[in-house]
Amino acid sequence: MKELPTPKKSIQSLFKNMVLLFDGEKYTHVDVVYQFVFTDIENGFPMYIRFSNGTAEFHEGLNDRPSVVIRTPSNVWLDISGGFRNPFWAMLTKKFIVQGSLSHLRTLPMLLTKKIETPRSLTFSTKWTNPSRALVLIGNPRKKNGLTGFYLEAFLDGMRKAGVQTEEIYLYDKKINHCLGCFACWTKTPGVCVQKDDQAELLEKLDTADMIVYALPLYYNSLPGLVKDHFDRQLPLHYPYLEKAAGLVRHPRRMSIQQSMVLFSICGFPEVEQFEPLVKTFEAYTRQENIPFAANVLLPGAMELYFNPTKRSLLLKKLEHLRSAGEQIITQGRVQKGTLKAISKVAHRGNWLDGANMYWHQETAAGHAGVL
Q: What is the pLDDT of residue 371?
A: 65
Q: What is the pLDDT of residue 122?
A: 78
154 and 288 belong to one structural domain? yes
Pairwise CA distance, residues 63 & 59, whole Å: 9
**CATH code for position 38:** 3.30.1050.10
With beta carbons less than 8 A apart as the criterion, state whether 63 and 46 touch.
Answer: no
320 and 219 belong to one structural domain? yes
**Alpha-carbon dihedral 173, 175, 180, 185, rounded to 10 degrees:** -100
- Convert the pLDDT of each residue in 93-133 to its tens digit: 999 999 998 999 999 999 999 988 888 887 777 777 888 99
95 and 222 belong to one structural domain? no
285 and 185 belong to one structural domain? yes
80 and 151 belong to one structural domain? no
Give, in order, the Cα–Cα distances in Å from 267 to each of 89, 248, 290, 372. Answer: 61, 31, 28, 7
**CATH code for position 334:** 3.40.50.360
55 and 166 belong to one structural domain? no
Give domain status of residue 1, yes or no.
no
Give, in order, the Cα–Cα distances in Å from 70 to each of 52, 289, 367. Answer: 19, 47, 76
75 and 158 belong to one structural domain? no
201 and 249 belong to one structural domain? yes
166 and 239 belong to one structural domain? yes
Burial of 296 (0-12, 13-18, 19+ CB in 10 A): buried
Q: What is the pLDDT of residue 361?
A: 80
215 and 344 belong to one structural domain? yes
Nearest 5°: the CA angle 81, 85, 90 is 105
Give a three-class secondary structure readout of 23-42: CCCCCCCCEEEEEEEECCCC
% pLDDT > 70, the chain: 97
100 and 70 belong to one structural domain? yes
b/e burial code for range 205-223 (CB count within 10 A of at least 16 → b): ebeebbbbbbbbbbbeeeb
Give domain status of residue 127, yes or no.
no
Range of the domain at 259: 133-366
**DSSP H or E segment with residue 265:** strand 260-266
Q: What is the pLDDT of residue 346?
A: 87
Predicted confidence (pLDDT) at residue 89 exceeds the cutoff of 70: yes
Give domain status of residue 124, yes or no.
no
Predicted confidence (pLDDT) at residue 76 exceeds the cutoff of 80: yes
End-to-end CA separation in angstroms for the chain: 41
> How many domains does the structure of the chain reveal?
2
Q: How much is the average pLDDT of 277-298?
A: 93
For 190, phi then psi, to 5°, come to -50, 125
- Convert the pLDDT of each residue in 134-156 to its tens digit: 999 999 999 888 999 999 999 99
Pairwise CA distance, residues 237 & 217, whole Å: 26
**What is the DSSP pairing of strand 211-217 with strand 133-138?**
parallel
Q: What is the pLDDT of residue 116?
A: 84
68 Cβ neighbours under 8 A, 6+ residues apart: 32, 33, 34, 35, 98, 99, 100, 101, 104, 105
Predicted confidence (pLDDT) at residue 369 exceeds the cutoff of 70: no
Q: Higher pLDDT residue, 35 or 256?
A: 35
Read off the DSSP letter of residue 262.
E
Cβ atoms within 10 A of the Cβ of 176, count? 20
With beta carbons less than 8 A apart as the criterion, state whether 12 and 46 touch.
Answer: no
Predicted confidence (pLDDT) at residue 183 exceeds the cutoff of 80: yes
Q: What is the pLDDT of residue 256?
A: 76
Pairwise CA distance, residues 127 & 203, whole Å: 26
Give domain status of residue 116, yes or no.
no
Rg (CA), the chain: 30
% pLDDT > 90, the chain: 78
Question: What is the rounded average pLDDT for all residues in the chain?
Answer: 92
